[in-house]
C-alpha cells in the first residue's frame, strides 16, 4: 500500500488563508503589552505590532483583549505586520461622530493637549478642536492685556479634565471636527437667565481682571463689572480692588444676550450721598483744588465729594484762565450754587 503524503493544505482543511493588504481592517487578540508598543495575535496571519503612536489617546489594554486594527504594512522585519489601532478607530469613529452631530447630543470629552487657540480633543479615534471662543464662562481664560502665555497656562490647566460639549461642525473630507462647550450649556444658561432680573443681588467669583473692569462667574453665567461700577471712589486700576478668585457681591444692572452687567458699588452705601448731606445751596465752604481743566476746576469738599467750579463762575466770564487762578492742592473759599443729588453733582462759584 502506497504511503499517503499529507500536505499543509490538508492540515489547514477548510480554513481559508488570505494575504494581508494595506488598509485592511482585522480583528486580533492582545498578546503582549510593552512600554512602546503592543503585540497582537492575528491568527493565520501571524503576529502584528502596534507602535505607541498608533494607539488612541488614553487607550489601555490587557493581554487577551479583543481589538480591531488597520494594516499599515502587511510585512516588516521578521515577518510581522505593522498595524494601527488609531486608524481603525478613526475609520469607525467618523461614522459615530457624524451620528452624534446629527442627534445634537451633549457628550463629555477630555482634552489631551492645548495651544493658544484652544483645546485638542480626541473622540472615537478622531482628533478635533475646541476653540477658546467656544469655552464657557467658567473655563474661558480671562487675562489682562491678552497675555498669550497666560492664556496658554490657563488652557493647560484644563487638560485631562472632563468637559461637556456638543459637536459644532464635522467634515470628514477636510478632516474637521469642532466642539463647543457654549452650545452644550446654552439651554441650561437660558433657563438660568430667565430666573434673573435687573436689580437682583448676586454673588460670584472673579475669573479675570482687565483694564476696563472685572469678569465674574455667577453660577456659570459670565458677568462684567465695568471699572465705573467697581467702587464709588475713582478707580484707576481694577486690580487694586479685586483679584482672580475673589468672591464678590454685586447687583445686576443689565442683562444682555449671554452676559450680565454687574455693579459692585450698588451693593455698598454711597459715601457721596451721605457726605453731601452736610452741604446746602448758598453755603460758603472751603475746598481743595484737585484738578484744573480748560473749562474750570474740580474741588474736593470731603473725602467722597468732589464739586466743579465752572469757568463761567470765576468772575471773569469765559475769558478766565483756570491755570492762572488755581494751583493744585491749594485751599480756597467757594459758594454752593446747586446740588444735584440724583446725578451726584455740586456746582460752585469762586468767592
Q: What is the pLDDT of residues 77-105, one digit of tens each?
A: 778 899 988 877 777 788 889 999 999 88
In Å, what is the CA distance from 329 to each residue of 40, 130, 292, 299?
A: 85, 55, 10, 9
pLDDT band at 27 (very low <50, low <70, confident <90, very high): confident
10-19, 169-178, 183-192, 310-319: the lowest-pLDDT one: 10-19
Class of 275-350 in CATH: mainly beta
Instruction: Measure the CA–CA gap between 271 and 298, rounded to whole angstroms.
Output: 18
Q: Are the CB atoms for 36 and 70 separated by under 8 Å?
A: no
CATH 3.30.460.10 fits 104-186, yes or no: no
Residues 186-202: tens digit of each pLDDT: 888 888 888 899 999 99
- Asked whether 21 and 71 are in contact (CB, 8 A), the reply is yes
- CA-nearest of 124, 24, 142 to 84 is 24
Determine how β-strand 345-350 pairs with β-strand 162-171: unpaired
Residue 239: name the closest of 346, 143, 316 by CA.
143
- C-alpha 260/C-alpha 244 separation (Å) is 18
Domain boundaries along the sequence of the chain: 25-88, 104-186, 196-267, 275-350
Among the listed residues 157, 149, 143, the one whose alpha carbon sits nearest the alpha carbon of residue 113: 157
Q: For 196-267, which CATH class?
A: mainly beta
Beta-strand pair 25-33/66-73 = antiparallel
pLDDT (tens digit, 9 = 90+) per residue, 29-69? Answer: 999 999 889 999 998 888 899 998 888 766 788 999 998 88
Assess contact for 80 and 47: CB atoms under 8 A: yes
Q: How far apart are CA 283 and CA 188, in angstroms?
A: 57
Q: Which three cell numbers stand for residue 221?
A: 453665567
pTM exceeds 0.95: no
Taking domain 25-88, whether its CATH number is 2.40.50.140 is answered by yes
Comparing 25-88 with 275-350, is the CATH topology the same? yes
DSSP type of residue 189: H
Amino acid at each position: 500500500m502506497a504511503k499517503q503524503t499529507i500536505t499543509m493544505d490538508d492540515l489547514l482543511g477548510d480554513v481559508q488563508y488570505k494575504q494581508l493588504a494595506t488598509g485592511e481592517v482585522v480583528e486580533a487578540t492582545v498578546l503582549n503589552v510593552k512600554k512602546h508598543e503592543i503585540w497582537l495575535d492575528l491568527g493565520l496571519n501571524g503576529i502584528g505590532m502596534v507602535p505607541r503612536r498608533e494607539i488612541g489617546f488614553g487607550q489601555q489594554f490587557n493581554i487577551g483583549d479583543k481589538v480591531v486594527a488597520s494594516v499599515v504594512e502587511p510585512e516588516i522585519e521578521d515577518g510581522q505586520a505593522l498595524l494601527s489601532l488609531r486608524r481603525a478607530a478613526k475609520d469607525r469613529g467618523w461614522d459615530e461622530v457624524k451620528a452624534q452631530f446629527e442627534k445634537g447630543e451633549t457628550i463629555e470629552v477630555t482634552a489631551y493637549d492645548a495651544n493658544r487657540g484652544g483645546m485638542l480633543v480626541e473622540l472615537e479615534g478622531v482628533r478635533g478642536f475646541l476653540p477658546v471662543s467656544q469655552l464657557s464662562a467658567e473655563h474661558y481664560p480671562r487675562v489682562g492685556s491678552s497675555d498669550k502665555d497666560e492664556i496658554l497656562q490657563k488652557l493647560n490647566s484644563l487638560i485631562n479634565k472632563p468637559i461637556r460639549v456638543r459637536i459644532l461642525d464635522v467634515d470628514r473630507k477636510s478632516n474637521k471636527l469642532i466642539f463647543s462647550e457654549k452650545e452644550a450649556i446654552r439651554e441650561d444658561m437660558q433657563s438660568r437667565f430667565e430666573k434673573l432680573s435687573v436689580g437682583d443681588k448676586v454673588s460670584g467669583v472673579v475669573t479675570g481682571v482687565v483694564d476696563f473692569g472685572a469678569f465674574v462667574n455667577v453660577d456659570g453665567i459670565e458677568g462684567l463689572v465695568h471699572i465705573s461700577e467697581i467702587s464709588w471712589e475713582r478707580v484707576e486700576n481694577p486690580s487694586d480692588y479685586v483679584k482672580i478668585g475673589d468672591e464678590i457681591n454685586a447687583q445686576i444692572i443689565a442683562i444682555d444676550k449671554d452676559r450680565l452687567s454687574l455693579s459692585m458699588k450698588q451693593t455698598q452705601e454711597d459715601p457721596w450721598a451721605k457726605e453731601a448731606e452736610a452741604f446746602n445751596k448758598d453755603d460758603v465752604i472751603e475746598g481743595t483744588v484737585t484738578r484744573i481743566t480748560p473749562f474750570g476746576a474740580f474741588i474736593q469738599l470731603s473725602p467722597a465729594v468732589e464739586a466743579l467750579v465752572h469757568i463761567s463762575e470765576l468772575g471773569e466770564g469765559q475769558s478766565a484762565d483756570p491755570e492762572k487762578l488755581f494751583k493744585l492742592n491749594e485751599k480756597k473759599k467757594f459758594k454752593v450754587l446747586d446740588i444735584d443729588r440724583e446725578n451726584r453733582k455740586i456746582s460752585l462759584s469762586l468767592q
